[in-house]
Structure 1
């Protein structure tokens, strides 16, 4: 901005003030970078490198099946004797119903139709079109956010089926074909991971910075491409689509199928099943209401799309996150008002912390600060919150997530540890993610991150597990 003014005006003269404002849109890089410069070679170090990622690629699908064969109405849940485990093993490949068959053509067709239905909904349903974060090549991806409408339409169709004569019994078909549906989703996740890995060598698309090592096992798992799309469909970001649509919504309708199974067996829905339906269902609804916020998550901004995300989104989420509902379908637990109230308080506290923390961060990133929160200015020109929930710990939303997960598990009682796998898994997952995020921030902010860690020493749980001695009370810049 330039201002031009005359000296002290004389009588009879006119002073003109000229203000010129120029807006420049600068390229992300003054000199265009080559493909190799944009996509440097990486070192395979995450998850203990190729050995660790190879082990997870094999073990994660295996455990998805184990969760079924170790917890079902034929053997109970978590056999406690050698004979019990033998009985569970004998059921593998010889299950008395279609629920335990490894493959079923109809189940595969149903899963294929389901995935196609989600794509059609993305194409035809209305939705807000927004731009994602600036990529390192200077471009931005455009996203259509209409996952909530897909969920609403799916739930509407589900209600239409259930209220028909015999509809509740018909809806148990998903429960009755659980393992073959797992297999169909696993085939889809492997096929997608293999395709995007191979296509990334032809498309010359932007790669993730952490999975361009040249090691096939490692890069296949971590994901070479950052934002893969099928040839000819540049607006269809496969990674973002999978993140909250086919798997998340399928999780909700599988839970409904489990509730229908309980109703067919018992003639009613227990309070424990109702809590699981409401808690886990609300998590899905809230996720899709806030669908645009996934664009700021590490999965989207940093991680490539490979087997880790394709399997996690399409198989692990829908078929293991709902283990509590499947358990309650054949173990009918009645909690009573006192236990129900305690569990509701724990869940509500988790939801409050999770949403309050994310709202603080979201408002701050958008240039708003309604709570007048304190922050630290970095040399990069960005600011880091140091009060509110983000002054209590560096990842308070993860703490909220843990309480939410605990609320999902508690309705199953304490007869089996298997239904508590989710809270254990989530603790491990988020601790690892916190470590990855801290490492990335240390590279990003340098010495400013060390200063920030002194101001906010607690990692996830407020006032528990400090990385450095707390300097609470130290004055910070506003």
Structure 2
């Protein structure tokens, strides 16, 4: 049975995942644009090598994202060390400035230099997705080769001992936890500086294209404003992201890097893209204002929840939450040298209600900003919300398994104190 499970995990899942999601990224281009035909346009998009415009946009953006690590007076930030070998990843803490400068630069270029830039991005989005796929698939292959021949740090068992793993599994999962490319952490580059920033810029581009084609509509504008606020919150909190499962558990392979370079760009932006070719003549500010208000409120609570844990971590548990000393549970784990170490788990504030209330606010926010795209069907306009439900529920399971393995009895004491993962008395 174990051999069958390993075969399924190491061979079937990687091939199935890559074979399903890679073409789906092209299919989304057609599904989101009502002017494109499934059989007439999809083959051209799938087999496209990308237009000159698409290559120019993608390459310039990648260079901009890479340089952002060194510019804007970014202070160095040390992430959590790898337990197995003690390697400490280094990042640049300048996300907020990068986000603001990128939005201003993009807006200024689109307004003063190329007024049709946003419309061209929308109309050539199929080529852009093709270029993103080509670059991402090649880049993931390079990461796999680098992990085998020249890893950043030795002493990680899952990186150093690759016997028994198929190439397709290593390509899908990745090998290194914290690879670097010319002085830059790969995950900060792909996940944050390209993935999340690309999400922001594409939503703005699609919204401007919507205005140019259909006139100003409150719904798409409310959606874009909420996305922009949410991503400002992300970059303001970027150093906190370096403590999440994406960084501390997931390796740099297809699942994570292709996901940020391609999937985020074509799927997370899908709602804004979807609304361009489907204008709603009944759209009005009376419906848009509640979306803006409750969406902003949900983002605020999401930030406050994350901020509580970050404050607790930075003060090493010596802080006040809700005007009371933070409650915590002391746990132990064994580090890479075989030494016993101590850690503390927060059980105060929102983190004393459930273990992942921040995920609940993530889902609520996604649900709210999808409302303007409703056109009588819930499937496509709310696809991101449904995807996020699956992703975050799965993430709570993975987090539980990781912490159970690391902390053992201490984690079981923590679960007794905070028994529910996301919703009290339900899950």
TM-score, scaled relative to structure 1? 0.78
1:342 Cα deviation after fit: 3.4
1:45 Cα deviation after fit: 5.7
CA gap 1:442/1:144 in 2 versus in 1, 3 angstroms: same
- 8 Å CA contact 1:49, 1:218 repeated in 2: yes
Moved more, 252-261 or 417-426: 252-261
- 8 Å CA contact 1:350, 1:403 repeated in 2: yes
Deviation per CA, 1:173-219: give whole Å up to 9, x if none. 11111011111111111111101111122214337665645221111
SS in 2 for 1:282: helix
- 8 Å CA contact 1:111, 1:185 repeated in 2: yes
CA distance in 2, matches of 1:54, 1:223: 14
CA distance in 2, matches of 1:123, 1:46: 43
SS in 2 for 1:124: coil
Counterpart of 2:358 in structure 1 is: 397
Of the three residues 320, 331, 347, the one matched with 1:370 is 320
CA distance in 1, matches of 2:120, 2:97: 24
CA distance in 2, matches of 1:410, 1:153: 29
Alignment of 1:123 with 2:70, yes or no, is yes
Counterpart of 2:390 in structure 1 is: 428
Counterpart of 2:169 in structure 1 is: 218
Of the three residues 21, 27, 30, the one matched with 1:60 is 21
The structure with the largest alpha-carbon Rg is 1
Deviation per CA, 1:253-307: give whole Å up to 9, x if none. 21222122222222x3211111111111112211111111122011111221011
- 8 Å CA contact 2:226, 2:296 repeated in 1: no
CA distance in 2, matches of 1:90, 1:259: 26
Pairwise CA RMSD of aligned residues? 2.5
CA gap 1:346/1:443 in 2 versus in 1, 3 angstroms: same
Counterpart of 1:298 in structure 2 is: 245
Of the three residues 401, 404, 418, the one matched with 1:456 is 418
Q: Which runs of 5+ in 1 are unaligned?
A: 1-42, 76-86, 466-478
SS in 2 for 1:383: strand
Counterpart of 1:386 in structure 2 is: 347
Alignment of 1:237 with 2:185, yes or no, is yes
Alignment of 1:74 with 2:25, yes or no, is no
1:94 Cα deviation after fit: 5.3
Of the three residues 167, 187, 190, the one matched with 2:137 is 190
Counterpart of 2:270 in structure 1 is: 323
Counterpart of 1:437 in structure 2 is: 399
Counterpart of 1:175 in structure 2 is: 122
CA distance in 2, matches of 1:330, 1:312: 25
Of the three residues 90, 112, 117, the one matched with 1:142 is 90
1:379 Cα deviation after fit: 4.3
Alignment of 1:28-47 (within 5 A): none
SS in 2 for 1:138: coil
- 8 Å CA contact 1:409, 1:419 repeated in 2: yes
CA distance in 1, matches of 2:246, 2:142: 19
Counterpart of 2:370 in structure 1 is: 409
CA gap 1:270/1:47 in 2 versus in 1, 3 angstroms: farther
Deviation per CA, 1:215-237: give whole Å up to 9, x if none. 2111111110111123xx3x311
- 8 Å CA contact 1:100, 1:177 repeated in 2: no
Counterpart of 1:347 in structure 2 is: 295
CA distance in 2, matches of 1:254, 1:100: 23
Alignment of 1:110 with 2:53, yes or no, is no
Higher helix share: 2
SS in 2 for 1:225: coil
Of the three residues 135, 158, 163, the one matched with 2:111 is 163
Moved more, 456-465 or 394-403: 456-465
Counterpart of 1:13 in structure 2 is: none
Of the three residues 421, 424, 447, the one matched with 2:409 is 447
1:450 Cα deviation after fit: 2.1
CA distance in 2, matches of 1:448, 1:45: 29
CA distance in 2, matches of 1:206, 1:428: 33
Deviation per CA, 1:24-78: give whole Å up to 9, x if none. xxxxxxxxxxxxxxxxxxx986994421122111211211111121221315xxx
